[in-house]
Structure 1
Amino acid sequence: MKLTIKNIGVIKEADIELSGLTVIAGENDSGKSTVGKLMFSITKAIGRYEDELEESKESDIEKAVERIYFSIRIVIFRGNKHEYEQLKKLFHPHYFIDEVNDNGIEAIKSRIEYLKEKNIYNDRIEELFTNLQDVVRRDYDKKSAIKRAFNKVAYSEFKGVISSNKTKASSIKITEGNNCILNIELHQNHVSEFDLQDDLYFNDSVIIETPMILNFNESIQNSKSLFDPQDKQSRLRSLDRANIAFHVKDLDAKLKNSAYEEGLFLNLKDNQLYEKITGIINGEIKFVKERDEFIYFKGEESHNIINVASGIKSFGILQMLLSANFLDERTLVVLDEPEVHLHPKWQLKYAEIIVLLVENNISVLVTTHSPYMIEALERYSEKYKVGANFYLAEEAMIKSENNNKTLSKTVAKLSEPFSVFDKMDAEKL
């Protein structure tokens, strides 16, 4: 699967093959992370469009029911208190919406009959009920729902600035061979075209950018993203809550869910990989529901995650995702600079785990600026005979001539700081 990007984030152009192991190396602010966030936004939008459809329909039903209620309230609520309570349960949005969602048109017809019996079904009320029936019967558009979902996730991931240059066209294209699977066009940070021509291979993605996510369980839980409930009352209640990128909420939810599905779906290869990680960190990290926190279990000992080394957390996150079967062949795993929290020796071990994930048919996208990590990924991919594509993000471009040339240029680029030491040594002489 090939991803082609033009004028997205700091990237002017990129051509990236996303299958097996994909490694993008480069200095900071070179666009490495943009690729992962972009793929996350696309897979989540497509995977969650049904939620977007449902949310849109529920919102339209809510508005239509509220119009009916406030238009007829003055007329029908003139009776005694008992009649008032009976009518309130029949027409109040709190009750009416639930019944429309459960019983559809039948819930509407019964109320129309009631109003006709009371001789208060006039032209204006008929118009409001006809609108409600149209909303319930409406065939909501999948393409528009995916486009809305993509706008939400992309806004969360890029804070509304996804295009690198407002004066130039921005585009994203996914192809397989000569077939275009998806084409996205953007104009001034707004999606003008979202054309999904066939099913995308990836139906989920997960971004892991820091093991410190385990430390902030409570804060993440109390934050909000654009994929939280979006009805008016929910938005009003969450006005004082912090906003957080959707990929953080997504990973946090998966890690917590591992407590409910631990080991249920592990196949033999996944179990061997799980055990290998357990051996590296000499224990297991689990989410303990009763304490609402992550705990590191080492033999007979248990440690609060706050007191656990960040390197152990890095391996523990993969351990939990494997245990709940969140990593499979149709999930894109994005590892954003995993070396940051790892000792050089553990960088090598982590690189081996990455390659073993790929050997298990899991696609992994790694962004890095570590020569250790790059060489380790190269060597382990050769050892396990795993397909790997290496790219250098440089001068707003992400391209690859071939692996050998790209690796040579990448190592030379990332080793430039060592020339400073050579110069200092020369000055001493």
Structure 2
Amino acid sequence: MHSSCGNIAVWWNNLRNGEYYMKFTNIGPIKNANLTLGQLTIFSGGNNQGKTYITYAIYGVLKELTARYELLDVEQAEIFLSENKYTFSKEEFNKAYANFIVSTIRKSSNRILSKVFSSGIKTFEDSEILLDPQEVIEMIGLTRTEHFRKQIEFRNILFIFELAEKTISVSYLKKSQNSGLNTEEMLPEEFTLDRRFLNMVFSLIIQDYISNSFNYIYVPAERTGINVFSKELHNGRANFIDDLSTLDEDDEKIIKSIRERKSTYPQPVDEYVKYLNSLEDYDIMINESNKISQIIRDKMIGGRFGFDKEKGTAYFKLKDDSKVSLHMASSSAKSLYGLDYYLDSILGDNTNNFIIIDEPEINLHPSNQIEFAVLINYLIESGVNLIISTHSDFLMKKLANLALLNKIKKQPGISRENTKIYNFENQTLSEIDYFNKDNVFENFDKNYQNLENEYFNLVDLMHEEIEDEL
């Protein structure tokens, strides 16, 4: 990991077409970067130029937006405890809650970044993340107008959170053993209801609401191996912890040291492993009407994935209904495992979805890279926010063609207005005009031009050698 990670400042400003302005300073090899996230954001450039650093940092911000934060200040908690209820105006709540999130993230920048990179906190000791409160409100779904009600019962007390069009209220009711709910009864003597406990309870409820309004996933470049060995990675860690129980009591210091060890994987990779292992925990239903996931199954891999619960293994099912173990499937199929299921689960669920894919072209033939561009176009049409880093000029050229086609036919999908492309080079990044061919494809075409020039120079030399022999 690069040793200089200094100040990191991120501002999310509400621009037109759902764009978000961000500024980074000294993160990995990137010294200074200004960028705007579009609905589709593309990172290109050579290896070791900082693309993964930036995408990891973005992931860390998205994850932190779904963390638990305080709801009631001291005065509000006192009113709540005396009246059993507190009601906010929605505008008041949104502003206060978003400001609290922004303040907490700013103060915890080094912790957030060290966790996402699985690095020591000193690596980011001077780091800072700044967010725009209004943008936070929109990103996590607090501007939604539909009615939401959630309740949690604890020690015969029912805690209620209710979100209406213009108000948000929190309340509690004492549950009577004989007559249901009774607000007049006193709390149990052995139980102290205080501000800290109230914030814990209601932050859990709000976190549940936000989690159902705001989704994100990071699909790492290491996915081919992870997709095959995710269960072994998970079981290896679990067995390692279980083995601690066999140590003697005299090894207490060793036990403590081992238990305090953190994952050596960056957080986005670790979370992806957990996602893959969760696929066996629910009954996967193939959504035949989902044209996006069907692109993967019908046009890119020619089959579908499944999970054998008895054997505890994933498999690939061909169109002729024959099955092969996932590790026996093609590399292209392995690289796409799990993505179709994720798309089935999120599309049409009325949430704000962010998908980050590192090198979507991995193990894909050029024809499938082109199909992946079509899939991206459908994702943008469906309202998904997508961030990709790529080395594929096939993917880039097809995306450019789709943007032009959408403009000609006046249809939704990729467009100049909702797409941002950045090239990473020489410790910085610069925006590329999506419709200027000389800019968009220079990252790839200059290499083709060099190879072509080299070829024709060699052909000329060969002809000269032949002429000399004659």
Please name the residue that 2:389 is paired with.
Answer: 367
Structure 1 residue 310 displacement after superposition: 1.8
Is the Cα contact below 8 Å between 1:5 and 1:171 reproduced in 2? no
Give unmatched runs, 5+ long, in structure 2.
Answer: 1-19, 71-99, 138-209, 242-252, 407-412, 461-470
Aligned with residue 417 of structure 1, among 441, 447, 456: 447
**Pair 25,142 (structure 1): closer, same or farther in 2 beyond 3 Å:** closer
Aligned with residue 155 of structure 1, among 99, 103, 114: 114
The yes-or-no answer on 1:250 pairing with 2:238 is no
Read off the aligned partner of 1:22 and give its amino acid letter. Answer: T
Q: Residues 226-245 of structure 1: matches in 2 within 5 Å?
A: 238=259, 243-245=264-266
Please name the residue that 1:290 is paired with.
Answer: 310
Aligned length: 312
Q: 1:161-217 deviations in whole A, cap 9, x for unaligned?
A: 799998xx65544459xx6759xxxxxxxxxxxxxxxx9995533233233321112
**Pair 267,215 (structure 1): closer, same or farther in 2 beyond 3 Å:** closer
Give me the TM-score of the superposition, normalised by structure 2: 0.57
Aligned with residue 421 of structure 2, among 387, 390, 398: 390
Q: Residues 6-405 of structure 1: matches in 2 within 5 Å?
A: 6-49=25-68, 151=110, 154-160=113-119, 170-175=127-132, 203-209=215-221, 210-222=223-235, 238=259, 243-262=264-283, 271-280=290-299, 281-298=301-318, 299-325=320-346, 329-384=351-406, 385-386=413-414, 387-400=418-431, 402-405=433-436
**Pair 401,424 (structure 1): closer, same or farther in 2 beyond 3 Å:** closer
Is the Cα contact below 8 Å between 1:23 and 1:389 reproduced in 2? yes
**Pair 286,218 (structure 1): closer, same or farther in 2 beyond 3 Å:** same
SS of 1:243's partner is: coil
Read off the aligned partner of 1:154 and give its amino acid letter. Answer: L
Q: Give the Cα–Cα distance (whole angstroms) in 1 for the partners of residues 130 and 262 of structure 2.
A: 35
Structure 1 residue 308 displacement after superposition: 1.0
**Pair 311,249 (structure 1): closer, same or farther in 2 beyond 3 Å:** same
Higher relative contact order, chain-length normalized (CA < 8 Å, sep 6+)? 1
SS of 1:404's partner is: coil
**Pair 164,216 (structure 1): closer, same or farther in 2 beyond 3 Å:** same
Read off the aligned partner of 1:17 and give its amino acid letter. Answer: T
Read off the aligned partner of 2:43 and give its amino acid letter. Answer: I
SS of 1:340's partner is: coil
Is the Cα contact below 8 Å between 1:255 and 1:320 reproduced in 2? no
Q: Give the Cα–Cα distance (whole angstroms) in 1 for the partners of residues 374 and 31 of structure 2.
A: 32
* Structure in which a larger fraction of residues adopt helix: 1
Q: 1:208-254 deviations in whole A, cap 9, x for unaligned?
A: 323332111233204669xx9xxx99965646896322222322322
Is the Cα contact below 8 Å between 1:7 and 1:163 reproduced in 2? no
Is the Cα contact below 8 Å between 1:40 and 1:207 reproduced in 2? no
Structure 1 residue 383 displacement after superposition: 3.3
**Pair 350,216 (structure 1): closer, same or farther in 2 beyond 3 Å:** same
Is the Cα contact below 8 Å between 1:12 and 1:164 reproduced in 2? no
Is the Cα contact below 8 Å between 1:4 and 1:174 reproduced in 2? no
Give unmatched runs, 5+ long, in structure 1.
Answer: 54-140, 183-198
Structure 1 residue 353 displacement after superposition: 0.9
SS of 1:278's partner is: helix
Please name the residue that 1:408 is paired with.
Answer: 438
Is the Cα contact below 8 Å between 2:110 and 2:121 reproduced in 1? no
**Pair 219,143 (structure 1): closer, same or farther in 2 beyond 3 Å:** farther
Q: 1:130-178 deviations in whole A, cap 9, x for unaligned?
A: xxxxxxxxxxx97787579765553244243799998xx65544459xx
**Pair 175,383 (structure 1): closer, same or farther in 2 beyond 3 Å:** farther
Is the Cα contact below 8 Å between 2:40 and 2:387 reproduced in 1? yes
Is the Cα contact below 8 Å between 1:287 and 1:293 reproduced in 2? yes
**Pair 144,204 (structure 1): closer, same or farther in 2 beyond 3 Å:** same
**Pair 262,165 (structure 1): closer, same or farther in 2 beyond 3 Å:** closer
Q: Give the Cα–Cα distance (whole angstroms) in 2 for the partners of residues 31 and 162 of structure 1.
A: 20
Q: Give the Cα–Cα distance (whole angstroms) in 2 for the partners of residues 258 and 4 of structure 1.
A: 36
Read off the aligned partner of 1:408 and give its amino acid letter. Answer: D
Read off the aligned partner of 2:332 and give its amino acid letter. Answer: G
Is the Cα contact below 8 Å between 1:42 and 1:150 reproduced in 2? no
Query: Which moved further from structure 2: 365-374 or 259-268?
Result: 259-268
Give me the TM-score of the superposition, normalised by structure 1: 0.62
Q: State the superposition RMSD in angstroms.
A: 3.9
Read off the aligned partner of 1:416 and give its amino acid letter. Answer: K
**Pair 402,297 (structure 1): closer, same or farther in 2 beyond 3 Å:** same
Aligned residues with identical type, % of pairs: 19
Please name the residue that 2:188 is paired with.
Answer: none
SS of 1:403's partner is: coil
Please name the residue that 2:457 is paired with.
Answer: 426
